[in-house]
Amino acid sequence: MAAPKYEVVLVRPDIPGNTGQIGRSCMALGCRLHLVHPLGYQITDANLKRAGLDYWPMLDKVEHRGVKEWMATLEPSPSVFLLSTKAEKVWDPSEVPAGATLVFGSETNGLPAEVHAKFAGRERKLEIDPRARSLNLSACVAMVLGSLLLPRR
């Protein structure tokens, strides 16, 4: 298997359908998916399977027991990017190297404070209408990966 184009990390995701869609996108686009427990569902959830279709068994997936275990696998690095509504800086795909780690928080709670603390200054946000609180998690991941993988004209 080729090296993943990007590492996509979901920290404590809550909605199985979102994870299924993200897993499907990661598989199809050559990215590795990291799931950081606890999850808001079981991996066997029918909604996850439905959204991920038959791509799920082909997905390059790593599960981590918790945030501390996952963070221990990484060093603070310029190739880790946190996607967060709390970010000051706007997402700019031109600053992201191939193979970077893209970290997304749960749909209900975002990223834990300890993740923000370890990767301070690495937070980025997608620009959206100020009347909106956030975007759907699977839409965010798709937009970020699309901005990195689609050819620029």
Q: Which CATH superfamily is domain 7-149 in?
A: SPOUT methyltransferase, trefoil knot domain (3.40.1280.10)
| Residue pLDDT tens, the chain, 153 long | 678 999 999 999 999 889 999 999 999 999 999 999 999 888 876 777 776 667 888 899 999 999 999 999 987 677 999 999 989 999 999 999 999 999 999 999 999 999 999 999 999 999 999 999 889 999 999 999 999 998 765
Given the structure tokens 């199809």, which residue do they identify? 28
- 18 vs 105: CA distance, rounded Å: 12
Model confidence pLDDT, tens digit, residues 51-81: 666 788 889 999 999 999 999 998 767 799 9
**CA dihedral angle for residue 93, residue 152, residue 143, residue 55, rounded to 10 degrees:** -110
Helix axes 16-29, 137-149, angle to 10 degrees: 10
| β-strand partners of 125 | 90
pTM score: 0.93
- Domain ranges in the chain are 7-149
Q: What is the mean pLDDT of the chain?
A: 91
